Amino acid sequence: MNYLIQNAVAVHSDEAPGARDIRIRDGRIAELGRDLTSTPEQPETVIDASGCVIWPGLVNTHHHLAQSIMKGVPAGLNQGLGEWLSSVPYRFWPKVTPELMYHAARLGLYELIRSGATTCADHHYLYHATTSPELEEAVWQAADELGIRLVLCRGSATETGSHEGMIEHRIEPETIEQVIDRLDATRRKHHQDGPDAMKKLVVAPTSLIHSSTPDGLKAQAQWAREHGLKMHSHLLEVEFDEIQAREKYGLSAIDYAESCDWLGPDVWYAHLVHSDPHAIERLAACGTGIAHCPTSNCRLGSGIAPVIDMQKAGVPVSLAVDGSASAESGSMLQELNLTWLIHRAVHGPDVTTLEQVLDWGSRGGAELLGLGDTGTLAVGKAADLVLYDIDQPRFAGVHSPLMAPLMCGEPVTVRDSFVQGRQIVKDGRVGDLDEAELTRQVRESVAELLADA
């Protein structure tokens, strides 16, 4: 369908900063301006955006959708990363069936969409030697039904290493041959090329340091680059990564990554909290990016990633929610708000601007994922956009309405949302999703996880 969105309070567009109207044709932005009108010759659905500000859709560059049914597990509430992994995701991993995965993915994607996200990169790591392919298919299905762009970052562990969950549950890791074969099957079935793809595959070993081998990492990097795929993993979330890299390989974590061909403009890492000046210099020199996850890093006491120094050095910066087991909100707007605030607490009140943070959460993420036709509102770009309703008491006193959602943070109301010109939120409702039914299914999923756990 074609749309004309009129009368917005403001539109975030560098190309048309005074715009209040947006015309969508064939899934793309055809016009930005003021006082745009319809004509009988060009039929379109008119949407009155009065009381709303319009942003480019937010781009989440690192998630664990499976964790959406593992929020606030009591045993892990006050634990750091290592202990928390054992108490929460490793504990429940073997019990996640395709049906549970489907409900978890729908919940996680629903939360993202209602916060303003239009793209999700899910680091899906529930793979082992006998994994059912239906587990991965549940994620693709949920994203397709809700209409969000999905970048599936296909995790893997080819040795148990320090992976306590695999050791405890006697889970047999994949061989590198299995990883490559299964990656190729997914690539052939789902991956789409191009800067406006709805589905992309990323090669994403779960941990460079702890559950992969140097040869396996090199093989995955070579295969990814042969097929033009991006690469992703966790790195330097805690100091243990650096300690293990030096003990096992005699190299710093960042130098080890480089030795395994895991730096470059086609690579980004989640967290990078414990990046020293040398690591930042290598990341910047190679064009390797970061998925900054401030809520999860605070929740687990991991620290604050030095993204201000990274940005100054030229490291590509994006924002992400991480898994909802360590960042219970599952909201991209939460990440923007905390990013704006947390670095000011450390470096002063002028170190982050609203515009910069929104750029990290939209354009920065889109470019990092290879979705350059999204992330900004400009003529010719894909129509991925969000209407936030600020015609509410809590926003009424805001003097800068365009940035009100970011400044005020949650709760917000996404009144309407579009992905590739398709309306996925209408009048505050996410597609045809039945919220009461979703709630029931998720509660039943949690009960199933807890049975005999």
Rounded Cα gap, residues 418 and 147, in angstroms: 9
Are residues 38 and 45 in contact, defined by beta-carbon separation less than 8 angstroms? Answer: no
Could you tell me the two tokens for 259?
């030795």
Class of domain 3-56+376-430: mainly beta
pLDDT mean over 171-199: 96
Q: What are phi and psi of 3, to 5 degrees?
A: -135, 150
**Helix (H/G/I), strand (E/B), else coil: 389:** strand
Of the candidates 94, 109, 116, which has an alpha carbon nearest to the alpha carbon of residue 64? 109
| Predicted local distance difference test score (pLDDT) of residue 453 | 61
Q: What are phi and psi of 74, to 5 degrees?
A: -55, -40
pLDDT mean over 114-138: 95
CATH architecture of the domain with range 58-368: Alpha-Beta Barrel (3.20)
**Which are the contacts of 331, defined by CB distance < 8 A and separation ≥ 6?**
111, 112, 114, 115, 321, 410
Rounded Cα gap, residues 295 and 290, in angstroms: 15
pLDDT mean over 160-168: 67
What's the sign of the alpha-carbon dihedral 396, 399, 405, 406?
Answer: negative
Q: Pairing between strand 45-48 and 3-6? A: parallel
Helix axes 133-146, 98-115, angle to 10 degrees: 30
Go through the chain and tell me how many residues it has: 453
Residue identified by tokens 């975030």 is 12
Could you tell me the two tokens for 151?
């970048």
Radius of gyration (Cα) for the chain, nearest Å?
A: 21
Are residues 152 and 139 in contact, defined by beta-carbon separation less than 8 angstroms? Answer: yes
Are residues 358 and 406 in contact, defined by beta-carbon separation less than 8 angstroms? Answer: yes
pLDDT tier, 40 (very low <50, low <70, confident <90, very high otherwise): confident
Domain boundaries, the chain: 3-56+376-430, 58-368
pLDDT tier, 447 (very low <50, low <70, confident <90, very high otherwise): very high
Q: Which residue has the higher pLDDT, 427 or 39?
A: 427
DSSP state of 6: E
**Helix (H/G/I), strand (E/B), else coil: 143:** helix
Query: For residue 2, what are the β-bridge partners?
Result: none
- The beta strands (E) that lie in 236-288 are given as 267-271
Quote the pTM value. Answer: 0.97
| Predicted local distance difference test score (pLDDT) of residue 39 | 81
pLDDT tier, 47 (very low <50, low <70, confident <90, very high otherwise): very high
| Predicted local distance difference test score (pLDDT) of residue 86 | 86
| Predicted local distance difference test score (pLDDT) of residue 164 | 64
Could you tell me the two tokens for 140?
């693709």
Of the candidates 55, 62, 16, which has an alpha carbon nearest to the alpha carbon of residue 365? 62
pLDDT mean over 128-154: 96
pLDDT mean over 427-452: 95
Rounded Cα gap, residues 21 and 385, in angstroms: 12
| Predicted local distance difference test score (pLDDT) of residue 354 | 98
Maximum distance among all alpha carbons in the chain? 71
Are residues 364 and 317 in contact, defined by beta-carbon separation less than 8 angstroms? Answer: yes
Rounded Cα gap, residues 235 and 217, in angstroms: 14
Q: What is the pLDDT of residues 254-296, one digit of tens each?
A: 999 999 999 999 999 999 999 999 999 999 999 999 999 999 9
Q: What is the pLDDT of residues 303-330, one digit of tens each?
A: 999 999 999 999 999 999 999 999 998 9
| Predicted local distance difference test score (pLDDT) of residue 162 | 62
pLDDT tier, 361 (very low <50, low <70, confident <90, very high otherwise): very high
Are residues 374 and 61 in contact, defined by beta-carbon separation less than 8 angstroms? Answer: no
**Helix (H/G/I), strand (E/B), else coil: 302:** coil
| DSSP secondary structure, 46-93, as one string | EEE-TTEEEEEPEEEEEEEGGGGG-TT-GGGTT--HHHHHHHTHHHHG
pLDDT at 166 over 90: no
**Which are the contacts of 35, defined by CB distance < 8 A and separation ≥ 6?**
20, 21
Q: What is the pLDDT of residues 329-346, one digit of tens each?
A: 899 999 999 999 999 999
CA-to-CA separations, 233 to 43, 99, 220, 424, 451, in angstroms, rounded = 46, 26, 12, 29, 31
pLDDT at 357 over 90: yes
Could you tell me the two tokens for 265?
């403009």
pLDDT at 236 over 70: yes
